[in-house]
Structure 1
Amino acid sequence: MTTDATQLPHRDDAIDPARRRWLRGLGALPALAVLPALPAQARTPSPVRAALRHGGLDGARARFEYAGTHLNGAYTHPVARGAASSLRHYLDGRLMNRDGRSVDLMAEREQAMRLFARLVNADVAELAWVPSTMVGENHVVSGLGLPGTRARVVTDAYHFSGSLFMYSELAKQGLDLHVVRPRDNRIHIEDMARAITPGTRLVAVSQVSSLNGFEHDLKALCDVAHARGALVYADIIQAAGTVPVDLHACGVDFAACSTYKWLMGDFGIGLMYVRASSLPALRRSQWGYRQEQSFTTHLYPFDPPGSAPFESVARSDTPGRIEVGTLGYAGVAMLRASLELLLELGVERISAWRQPLLARLQQAMPALGYLPMTPADSRSPIVTFAARGVGKRLQERFTAAGMEATLYQDRIRISPSFHNQMDDIERLLELCT
């Protein structure tokens, strides 16, 4: 394995036991008047800023039942009432009661897939169900035949830590791994271009980094990679449903995401995209009944005659390469309702709604002594700041106040959504003093 330096950058989230801790508590506190004032332009009345005081985008706060203040969509997004109602209807089906007779599991799954295809601009035939984002990326790595080879793979230090672990382990088996380091809180396209030499097999990145919210220009990256013969995989778990995603327009070959974050689905359910023109490059690395086009036996009464005990034909589409066995259904019911809500609100409007909240954080947190780790011009839902010992210092305070954000040993990650408003940001800023 080689990198742009001698080793990967330190990632304290990999060892911090608070990394996945979900902070809960009771109540909330008023904002302090001594916090830095908004700039004059931000104080100018506008429809967006005026609406910030009225319960989220289009009054979206009323669609949720969570307690306290939730600024942690990058960890797990709250489920809206509509999704919970869909889940209850699904449970009627599992209870097999009178109301459950109207439950149509396959229709729910087909509807959810069509809605997701609309959200990310993909064809349904290019999509498959997977249990998680990492399972999707493993399908790419295995399907391209990378394990045990000396193929060249380029990634960056802002890619998901679980993915970096996977590539690091494969590098111990001989994979020629190159990890591009950040500069100025971003991954520069020219640094990626230098690493993507002719013969590179795969470029793997997170469209939006879970570490600090940096967002790749996927179109520019794919143009560079494809010009040098490389395929591109994008982890879109921190992008789908919260920033504009156009899989066809950007040219990415493979993408995957779980649904429990910005898509407001549930754990254990994800989606994978394989561009139609890239499907031939991806061989099957796992096999199961969901890949069957047909399976005909010649053993039992009334079977058609045949010399072999059975005959099978595999599907040729994306699910025929990716899907294996029984899939979860409860989360699909939630996902279908959540996708309807996202499409109703519109991702562009969600992004625009969030910007004043992010701008306030980017302005106020440094004034409180926190080191910015997110580019100032970022439009993703994630902003991260560093401060020594911040996790230990704020954990009890956040818990008591019912404030939810992600605390690491020396970092805080804040990720507002369309149900938030400026009062939520001011409440967090008070707690961070």
Structure 2
Amino acid sequence: MLSRRSLIKNSGAAIVAAKSLLSAPIASAEGATTLPVRDAFVTPQFEVCLNNARWHPLSNSARKATESYLDYKARGVFNQTSLTSPTSIAVRQGFASLINAHADEVAFVNSTTAGENLVVAALGLTRPATSGPQPNIVTDAMHFEGSLYLYSELRKRGVDVRIVKPRGWVIDRADIERAVDKNTRLIAVSQVSWINGFTHDAKWLADLAHAHGAKLFLDAVQAAGCMPIDVRASGVDFLASASYKWLMGDFGLGFLYARADVLPTLERTQWSFRQFSEMQYHALPGDPPGPYPATFDQLQTAAGFFELGTYANAVLATLSDSLPWIQRMGVANIQAHAHTLNTTLRREMPRLGYECITPEDAGASILSFRVADAAKTAAKLKAANVDVSLNPGRMRVSPSVYNHEGDIQALLSALA
């Protein structure tokens, strides 16, 4: 029999969608799908979209999965019969498989930045130490802007935050090494920079952090789903990603990975009904005896440390389709397809006056260029119905699984 708390906790996506997901293999052989998968999206009917690093369009099948959940919710007939939603189990496992983790090491969070905040708090780094050596945090100026705001605010509180400056468009390893010392508690960076796709070597960073007794946090929102990630091989301690970019989900639901052997060392800083498996009242008539007012069976998983409140069930339904689909396409296959398209841009864009500022060894799908006249460039792109990301002095192009060479030529023709 389900309690009120269980009803709130476990109201998942439609059972039909969950059974469909569970019957499908969560992992498939790399390279199993020929790209591009143009017919899987309606996006090409509306524009030449080369801006998938901003937010990724929904595939047709993911949209149908979402609509199935909305139809289920509209009926109001609660179909959940177990204590845990089958869809949530499969989606958690799907992301874990994508990064080579265990499902118990993955918590649902509402955004990448939320995950980063939770990690900083769990390590006790939101305020300076009252005695002894001051712990420090090392990050870099190519980290996400919301994260730079986080660390700037911690600096105001007196926390020792060290922000490594870029050299041109890259972060030099030697500069990170100089910033890290025996009092470093956390290295926190974007695995792939949203600015130009600069990619950190996760294993090198993890080894550096561990050699100084520190932990490594990676913002993987521009990496997860478009380049291979292996948290086991790299030794990453924490990794977070929203789902609305390369995981092809939507806003409001993401993931936080925390390595199993790190969890017991963390401080619990926030509490929620999602952090225990069962509870028993000892305060009401007929309750069994026990400590007042209740006892709780606390989870010793990532969810048990970090999950807060309800999650976005509509996005969960979306991910129930997109994650296994990404696995079937093969992340290495997705990465190779984007790099093939970007090779043309690396060669041709400088001839049009757009200097490439993305390192040759960048791992993800982002390619960025310097822009002398942003207004003129924006007008050309708008006239050609080509969608990229424009920032002051920079243009970011990010092709995905539905883009083909014709889209690249449309961009080049618009700027010619």
TM-score for the superposition, normalised by structure 2: 0.86
Which amino acid in the other structure matches residue 384 of structure 1?
Answer: S
Once residues 101 and 289 of structure 1 are traced to their aligned partners in structure 2, the CA distance between those partners, rounded to angstroms, is 21
Residues 196-221 of structure 1 show CA distances to partners (whole Å, capped at 9, x for unaligned) of: 11221100011111011011110011
Once residues 232 and 224 of structure 1 are traced to their aligned partners in structure 2, the CA distance between those partners, rounded to angstroms, is 9
Which amino acid in the other structure matches residue 92 of structure 1?
Answer: D
1:79 aligned to 2:83? Answer: no
Once residues 286 and 388 of structure 1 are traced to their aligned partners in structure 2, the CA distance between those partners, rounded to angstroms, is 47
Task: After TM superposition, give the deviation of residue 397 of structure 1 in Å.
Answer: 3.2
Counting only pairs closer than 5 Å after superposition, residues 208-227 of structure 1 correspond to structure 2 as 208-227=192-211
Once residues 241 and 400 of structure 1 are traced to their aligned partners in structure 2, the CA distance between those partners, rounded to angstroms, is 31
| Residue in structure 2 matched with residue 116 of structure 1 by the alignment | 95
Say which SS state the counterpart of residue 37 (structure 2) adopts: helix
| Residue in structure 2 matched with residue 317 of structure 1 by the alignment | 301
Which amino acid in the other structure matches residue 228 of structure 1?
Answer: H
Once residues 77 and 155 of structure 1 are traced to their aligned partners in structure 2, the CA distance between those partners, rounded to angstroms, is 27
| Residue in structure 1 matched with residue 7 of structure 2 by the alignment | none
Once residues 307 and 273 of structure 1 are traced to their aligned partners in structure 2, the CA distance between those partners, rounded to angstroms, is 33
1:266 aligned to 2:250? Answer: yes
Which amino acid in the other structure matches residue 158 of structure 2?
Answer: G
Which amino acid in the other structure matches residue 70 of structure 2?
Answer: L
Match of 2:372 among 367, 378, 388: 388
Match of 2:395 among 404, 407, 412: 412
Which amino acid in the other structure matches residue 238 of structure 1?
Answer: Q
| Residue in structure 2 matched with residue 423 of structure 1 by the alignment | 406
* 2:242–2:253 Cα contact (<8 Å) kept: yes
* 2:53–2:246 Cα contact (<8 Å) kept: yes
Task: After TM superposition, give the deviation of residue 80 of structure 1 in Å.
Answer: 0.4
* 1:93–1:103 Cα contact (<8 Å) kept: no
Once residues 299 and 243 of structure 1 are traced to their aligned partners in structure 2, the CA distance between those partners, rounded to angstroms, is 52
Which amino acid in the other structure matches residue 52 of structure 2?
Answer: G
After TM superposition, the structure 1 stretch with the greater mean CA deviation from structure 2, 147-156 or 226-235, is 147-156
Match of 1:60 among 37, 52, 68: 37
1:401 aligned to 2:380? Answer: no
Match of 1:357 among 323, 337, 341: 341
Once residues 97 and 174 of structure 1 are traced to their aligned partners in structure 2, the CA distance between those partners, rounded to angstroms, is 51
1:287 aligned to 2:271? Answer: yes
After TM superposition, the structure 1 stretch with the greater mean CA deviation from structure 2, 297-306 or 143-152, is 297-306
TM-score for the superposition, normalised by structure 1: 0.83
Once residues 35 and 106 of structure 2 are traced to their aligned partners in structure 1, the CA distance between those partners, rounded to angstroms, is 31
Judged with a 3 Å threshold, the aligned counterparts in structure 2 of structure 1 residues 296 and 65 are, in CA distance, closer, same or farther, namely same
Once residues 144 and 174 of structure 2 are traced to their aligned partners in structure 1, the CA distance between those partners, rounded to angstroms, is 21
Once residues 285 and 405 of structure 2 are traced to their aligned partners in structure 1, the CA distance between those partners, rounded to angstroms, is 69
4+ residue runs over 3 A deviation: 56-59, 100-105
Task: After TM superposition, give the deviation of residue 358 of structure 1 in Å.
Answer: 1.0
| Residue in structure 2 matched with residue 153 of structure 1 by the alignment | 137
Once residues 294 and 404 of structure 2 are traced to their aligned partners in structure 1, the CA distance between those partners, rounded to angstroms, is 61
Once residues 290 and 200 of structure 2 are traced to their aligned partners in structure 1, the CA distance between those partners, rounded to angstroms, is 55
Which amino acid in the other structure matches residue 125 of structure 1?
Answer: D
Match of 2:222 among 228, 233, 238: 238
Once residues 140 and 310 of structure 1 are traced to their aligned partners in structure 2, the CA distance between those partners, rounded to angstroms, is 28
Task: After TM superposition, give the deviation of residue 57 of structure 1 in Å.
Answer: 4.1
Task: After TM superposition, give the deviation of residue 181 of structure 1 in Å.
Answer: 1.8
Task: After TM superposition, give the deviation of residue 59 of structure 1 in Å.
Answer: 4.5
Residues 222-258 of structure 1 show CA distances to partners (whole Å, capped at 9, x for unaligned) of: 1111111111000000000001100111101001000
1:278 aligned to 2:262? Answer: yes
Residues 46-87 of structure 1 show CA distances to partners (whole Å, capped at 9, x for unaligned) of: xx9xxxxxxx94440100011211111110011101101101
Say which SS state the counterpart of residue 368 (structure 2) adopts: strand
| Residue in structure 2 matched with residue 297 of structure 1 by the alignment | 281
Match of 2:119 among 136, 140, 150: 140
Once residues 208 and 262 of structure 2 are traced to their aligned partners in structure 1, the CA distance between those partners, rounded to angstroms, is 16
1:202 aligned to 2:175? Answer: no
Residues 133-184 of structure 1 show CA distances to partners (whole Å, capped at 9, x for unaligned) of: 0000000111111112142111111111110111011011111111112225
* 2:164–2:179 Cα contact (<8 Å) kept: yes
Once residues 281 and 383 of structure 1 are traced to their aligned partners in structure 2, the CA distance between those partners, rounded to angstroms, is 39
* 2:36–2:403 Cα contact (<8 Å) kept: no
Once residues 239 and 116 of structure 2 are traced to their aligned partners in structure 1, the CA distance between those partners, rounded to angstroms, is 8
| Residue in structure 2 matched with residue 373 of structure 1 by the alignment | 357
Which amino acid in the other structure matches residue 338 of structure 1?
Answer: S
| Residue in structure 2 matched with residue 188 of structure 1 by the alignment | 172
Once residues 72 and 90 of structure 1 are traced to their aligned partners in structure 2, the CA distance between those partners, rounded to angstroms, is 28
Gaps of 5+ in 1: 1-47, 49-55
Match of 1:229 among 210, 213, 226: 213
